[in-house]
Amino acid sequence: MTLNSDDFGIFGHYPFELPPLPYAYDALEPYIDEETMHFHHDKHFATYIKNLNDALEPYPFLHNVPLERILCSAKSLPEESRVKILNNAGGVYNHTLFFRGLAPASEPVHEPEGKLLEAIEGFFGSFEHFKEEFSDEAKDVFGSGWTVLVSDSESNLDIRNTANQDVLICEGLEPIILFDVWEHAYYLKYKNERADYIKNLWNIIRFK
């Protein structure tokens, strides 16, 4: 993949800006509490945005490049800043999708339907079984990372775990749903009980 800019999509380009939450900070209660949302969005997510902008600032040739191209062009990035750029670009990418991928429990969006439901049933047997398998994977993430339902270019589904802020798009995999299993996503409310957080997250994951 080259650095030629074309489609900025939902992620934009330098200077990146913190996208506002598409719902109120307390809208995901009781599954994610208001205080966690303030820390997660206003502090953690905002820090990835700031650090990415700081890392890109000295390199004008990267200022008009879409985020996904930055992520998938590791070899074209300046060596001395490569790790910082990729880590923070991954953080911006993952959190942009994560917060957009949640919705208040009262909204009728938390179960897949149509083609996605058919695909989930085809690959995992049933939606219930898919949730079990996905939850088990999410519990298994060692340290900080993500669990992601991905689709390849032929619409094959798979559940993948990633470490830190790694992403899967450069393998041609499109994320459909993402669980943030970094402790910062749940520690204030759930402490060490990641399994409870994972179980509750299904109530607010957006499938449509």
Mark 122-161 with x for binding to Mn ion (rule: CB under 5 A) and - for no binding: ----------------------------------------
Residues in binding contact with Mn ion, number by CB under 5 A: 3
Taken as a whole, the chain contains a residue count of 208
Work out how close the CB of 24 gets to Mn ion at its nearest, in angstroms, rounded to a whole number.
19
* Identified binder of Mn ion from the candidate list 69, 97, 180, 189, rule CB under 5 A: 180
Q: Which is nearer to Mn ion, 182 or 207 (CB)?
A: 182
Where does this chain touch Mn ion (CB under 5 A) — which range of 113-121, 132-140, 150-158, 174-182? 174-182
> Which among 190, 188, 195, 203 has a CA at the least distance from the CA of 37?
188
* Residue whose C-alpha is closest to residue 194's, from 161, 150, 159, 165: 161
Residue 32 CB, nearest approach to Mn ion (Å): 11
d(CA 66, CA 72): 10
39: tokens are 């820390």
Q: How far is the CB of 183 from Mn ion (least distance, A)?
A: 9
Site for Mn ion contains 96 (CB under 5 A): no
H-run or E-run covering 188: helix 187-190
Q: How far apart are CA 74 and CA 141, in angstroms?
A: 24
Tokens linked to 30 = 């009781």
Q: Kindly tell me which of 28 and 185 has the beta carbon lying closer to Mn ion.
A: 185
Binding site for Mn ion (CB under 5 A): 180, 182, 185
